[in-house]
């Protein structure tokens, strides 16, 4: 099959933009699963909650979706801290966080989806903003604004979280608890308190990730299921705890999916992307930037 160079280049660019969004939805899992060892499979439910918050304020008051995401960050942070506190006392404190904890987050995912269906129904919802239409044309390259804007803000969010984790005292404590919680406890710091803050941050990122999702495509309550496998796969491929590795992995998955969808059809994209993941892990089991 003859391959058009222009089409291939545009597919790669679209994949990079898509990868930036994938990185945004994965950053919370990198914190909760990679650093805290909490398999939060309810993460897509929190992301959809961010999408519907953006939809409600945009549809009712015309508020810019990204502004909604920024304003909702502290609200989602508090929600995340409350969820972790419930999880801690119910499961982690009793050493039952493996199977029972996984069932807890699966229940949250199911309850969140049903609640959204009861409130909003199963119709697709979307937001309106100047950047949801049109493209930035640079010669033979075309950058859709609905992909470009989330890509830029995704990288800003990831960079801000990375700076916080590496430059602040609480951030370094989060990195420490992910490596040796006992040593942190011997330094008179509470691992549970640090984990609560970290989990709050992981859920707070869903406010913006959900906003990016509804900018890129219309949403309905069950769409979050499509991202469960992807976000965990990107986290593992990136090296579990590495933000740079996560971004590279997200963009690689995005490029593979975009090229596959462009030349072979969208139905092949997830299978080929996960096949790429398996090959990459076979070559490097620790992930791209894992230790």
pLDDT tens digit sequence for 46-88: 999 999 999 999 999 999 999 999 999 999 999 999 999 999 9
Task: List the chain residues with pLDDT less than 70.
Answer: 1-3, 96-98, 180-188, 290-291
Dihedral sign from CA coordinates of 19, 20, 24, 27: positive
pLDDT of 188 reads 62
Q: How far apart are CA 171 and CA 184, in angstroms?
A: 13
Distances (CA, A) of 283 to 30, 73, 250: 21, 38, 18
Question: Which residue, among 107, 210, 102, has the nearest Cα to 150 in the 3D structure?
Answer: 210
Q: Which long-range contacts (CB under 8 A, 24 or more apart) does 6-12 make?
A: 6/140, 7/262, 7/263, 8/259, 8/262, 9/140, 9/141, 10/140, 10/141, 10/142, 10/262, 11/255, 11/258, 11/259, 11/261, 11/262, 11/263, 12/255, 12/258, 12/259
DSSP H/E element including 66? helix 65-71
pLDDT of 177 reads 81
Question: Which residue, among 177, 174, 153, has the nearest Cα to 165 in the 3D structure?
Answer: 174
Q: How many beta carbons lie within 10 A of that of residue 3, not counting itself? A: 11
pLDDT of 271 reads 82
pLDDT of 183 reads 61
Average pLDDT taken over every residue of the chain: 89
Chain centroid to CA 103: 20
Distances (CA, A) of 142 to 17, 133, 230: 11, 13, 26
């Amino acid at each position: 099959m003859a391959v058009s160079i222009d089409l291939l280049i545009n597919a790669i660019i679209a994949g990079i933009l898509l990868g930036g969004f994938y990185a945004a939805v994965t950053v919370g899992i990198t914190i909760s699963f990679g650093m805290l060892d909490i398999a939060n499979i309810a993460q897509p439910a929190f992301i959809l909650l961010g999408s519907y918050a953006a939809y409600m304020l945009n549809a009712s008051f015309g508020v810019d979706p990204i502004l909604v995401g920024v304003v909702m960050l502290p609200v989602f942070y508090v929600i995340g801290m409350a969820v972790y506190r419930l999880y801690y006392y119910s499961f982690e404190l009793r050493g039952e966080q493996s199977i029972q904890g996984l069932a807890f987050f699966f229940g949250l995912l199911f309850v969140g989806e049903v609640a959204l269906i009861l409130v909003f129904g199963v119709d697709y919802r979307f937001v309106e903003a100047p950047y949801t239409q049109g493209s930035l044309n640079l010669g033979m390259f075309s950058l859709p604004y609905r992909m470009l804007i989330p890509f830029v803000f995704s990288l800003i969010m990831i960079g801000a979280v990375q700076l916080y984790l590496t430059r602040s005292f609480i951030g370094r404590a989060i990195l420490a608890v992910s490596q040796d919680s006992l040593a942190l406890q011997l330094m008179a710091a509470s691992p549970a308190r640090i984990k609560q803050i970290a989990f709050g941050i992981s859920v707070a990122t869903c406010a913006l990730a959900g906003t990016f999702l509804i900018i890129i495509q219309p949403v309905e309550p069950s769409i979050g299921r499509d991202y469960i496998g992807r976000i965990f796969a990107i986290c593992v491929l990136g090296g579990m705890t590495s933000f740079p590795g996560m971004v590279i992995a997200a963009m690689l998955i995005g490029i593979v999916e975009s090229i596959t969808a462009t030349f072979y059809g969208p139905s092949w994209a997830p299978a080929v992307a996960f096949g790429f993941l398996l090959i990459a892990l076979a070559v490097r089991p620790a992930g791209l930037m894992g230790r």
